[in-house]
Amino acid sequence: MIKTIEERLEEQEEVLQLMLTKLQVLENRKVEFPEIRIPDYRNQLEILKNELLRVNHSYPVEKIDEQIIKMRTLHDGIPEVVKVRHHHHFEDKSKGFIIGAIVLLLICAMAVGIAVSMWKENGRLNENSVKFRVIRQGYPTIAYWADTTYHRDPEVIKVLTEKLEAEQLAVAQAEAVAREKTLDSKQKKRKLKLLHHGLKER
């Protein structure tokens, strides 16, 4: 349904009438602003004024200028790069820390030494254990004799073992000396043969 021009004009008049009424309501409404209270600073300002006047009379501008000039001369006299010498020294308080550090280092060194010696001893004991197990597998009667003798009297077997080791060492040293002597005698015989052969050729 198409509206006629008159109907449209009537609608527009109604809208304008509504807007006019709203504008009248807005114009008639009173706008209330919040009350602004400015504090009274007259006493404080008076005090500041009196203090400034007093300072102005007791400290003249010339003195301030002199101080500014002095500050500038001091500033110009300060070098841009300042050489600094470091001086390291030990105080009485630091001696205790140094002694403690040395003691800790000694303890650490001793602990490392003991650990290394125990590691070597452990390796030697492991080697002896493997050797004894091999002997037990290859010669069970000898291993059984060693076990029973040791369990009867460990001190006796220890003394006996040290005695046998000393005898074996003495025998080995005697054999080494005998070998050296035989080698020396063989070398001397060779030299004699060579000398004898050389004399015959002449």
User: What pLDDT is attached to residue 110?
Assistant: 95
What is the overall mean pLDDT for the chain? 80
pLDDT single digits (tens) 64-123 = 677 778 877 877 777 666 666 766 666 667 778 888 889 999 999 999 999 999 999 999
Q: Between the CA of residue 107 and those of 15, 101, 104, what are the distances in Å?
A: 103, 10, 5
Residues in the chain: 202
pLDDT single digits (tens) 15-35 = 888 888 888 887 777 666 667
pLDDT of residue 151 exceeding 60, the answer is yes
pLDDT of residue 1 exceeding 50, the answer is no
pLDDT of residue 127 exceeding 60, the answer is yes
Torsions phi, psi for 13 (to 5 deg): -65, -40
d(CA 118, CA 9): 116
pLDDT of residue 192 exceeding 90, the answer is no
User: What pLDDT is attached to residue 119?
Assistant: 93
d(CA 58, CA 64): 11
Average pLDDT over residues 194-198: 68
Asked if 142 and 150 touch (Cβ cutoff 8 Å), the reply is no
d(CA 114, CA 101): 20
Asked if 178 and 170 touch (Cβ cutoff 8 Å), the reply is no
User: What pLDDT is attached to residue 82?
Assistant: 62
d(CA 33, CA 28): 16
- Maximum alpha-carbon separation in the chain: 168
Q: Where along the chain do its domains lie?
A: 108-152, 154-197
pTM, two decimal places: 0.34
Q: Between the CA of residue 198 and those of 191, 192, 201, what are the distances in Å?
A: 10, 10, 5
d(CA 22, CA 16): 10
Asked if 173 and 162 touch (Cβ cutoff 8 Å), the reply is no
